[in-house]
């Protein structure tokens, strides 16, 4: 069973190709799923879709079209007759960089939007769906009438312009709960996890997160807030796109 390697290595933009072997192939109703001896593909989760990519033995190429992390990382492969002969041999895995980079940018923008919503209006991020074209975040407010989408867009874009460092490290739960830049409810993170992977946007936000991120906010580029919709009492669904 392989662990999600991206948590420590290749966690962001331009992940490098890596060598691996296929340990196991499972034919399921929903497709062909492979377990690798090691992997840096991002498995879908936390509102962020999976990495795509390829596995190659130099002759044949398998396409990775989905990755899931439940019970060990498994890679959904487009069916190819060569799968059997590619088991157990050295392969080169290549993560689709364009897709990964776009998702890193969208996802890090979500950290900024969640931070600004919390800072200005006490907004809690209660859900999100990161996508390549248009991402949505659900925010819950005590008083949602105070929310101002122009102000949100402007503040996020100022943080983008400031090109603030974004970095990853591991921190103890006891330290995190005392830091005011940690905006998420730490009670929602399973109690048995003491050492958490944390993403820091310098001076703005500290967030336990397993996703993929850019290295500085300037790499996100300017964002544009789109449609705002009501999602029930006190809740708003905010959509945004990236300006390339």
Contact 90, 57 (CB under 8 A): yes
How far is Cα 178 from Cα 173, in angstroms, rounded to an integer? 9
Q: How far is the CB of 195 from Zn ion (least distance, A)?
A: 17
Is residue 116 at the binding interface for Zn ion, with CB under 5 A as the rule? no
Is residue 211 at the binding interface for Zn ion, with CB under 5 A as the rule? yes
Q: How far is the CB of 108 from Zn ion (least distance, A)?
A: 7
How far is Cα 33 from Cα 26, in angstroms, rounded to an integer? 5
Report the site for Zn ion in 121-150 (rule: CB under 5 A): none
End-to-end alpha-carbon separation of the chain, Å?
38
The SS3 assignment for 110 reads helix
Looking at beta carbons, which residue is closest to Zn ion? 209
How far is Cα 213 from Cα 106, in angstroms, rounded to an integer? 8
Which part of the chain contacts Zn ion (CB under 5 A), choosing from 17-25, 86-94, 210-218, 222-230? 210-218
Q: How far is the CB of 209 from Zn ion (least distance, A)?
A: 3
Q: How far is the CB of 1 from Zn ion (least distance, A)?
A: 24
Which one, 36 or 214, has the nearer CB to Zn ion?
214
Report the site for Zn ion in 166-205 (rule: CB under 5 A): 199
Options 36, 139, 160, 209; binder of Zn ion; rule CB under 5 A: 209
Which one, 116 or 199, has the nearer CB to Zn ion?
199
How far is Cα 92 from Cα 126, in angstroms, rounded to an integer? 38
Of residues 46, 236, 200, the one with CA closest to residue 128 = 46
Evaluated on CA atoms 60, 64, 69, 70, the torsion sign reads negative
Which one, 76 or 200, has the nearer CB to Zn ion?
200
Q: Which residues make up the interface to Zn ion (CB under 5 A)? A: 199, 209, 211
């Amino acid at each position: 069973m392989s662990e999600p390697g991206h948590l420590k290595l290749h966690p962001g933009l331009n992940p490098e190709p890596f060598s691996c072997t296929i340990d196991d192939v499972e034919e399921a109703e929903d497709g062909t799923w492979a377990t690798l001896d090691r992997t840096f593909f991002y498995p879908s989760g936390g509102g962020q879709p999976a990495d795509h990519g390829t596995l190659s033995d130099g002759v044949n190429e398998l396409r990775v079209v989905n990755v899931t992390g439940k019970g060990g990382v498994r890679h959904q492969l487009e069916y190819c007759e060569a799968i059997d002969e590619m088991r157990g041999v050295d392969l080169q895995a290549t993560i689709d960089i364009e897709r990964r980079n776009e998702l890193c940018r969208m996802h890090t923008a979500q950290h900024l939007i969640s931070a600004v919503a919390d800072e200005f209006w006490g907004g809690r991020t209660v859900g999100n769906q990161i996508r390549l074209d248009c991402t949505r975040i659900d925010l819950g407010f005590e008083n949602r009438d105070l929310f101002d989408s122009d102000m949100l867009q402007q503040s996020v874009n100022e943080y983008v312009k400031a090109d603030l460092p974004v970095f990853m490290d591991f921190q103890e739960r006891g330290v995190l709960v005392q830091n005011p830049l940690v905006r998420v409810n730490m009670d929602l993170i399973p109690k048995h996890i003491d050492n958490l992977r944390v993403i820091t946007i310098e001076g703005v936000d500290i967030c336990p997160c397993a996703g993929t991120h850019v290295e500085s906010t300037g790499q996100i580029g300017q964002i544009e807030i789109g449609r705002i919709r009501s999602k029930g009492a006190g809740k708003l669904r905010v959509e945004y796109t990236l300006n390339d």
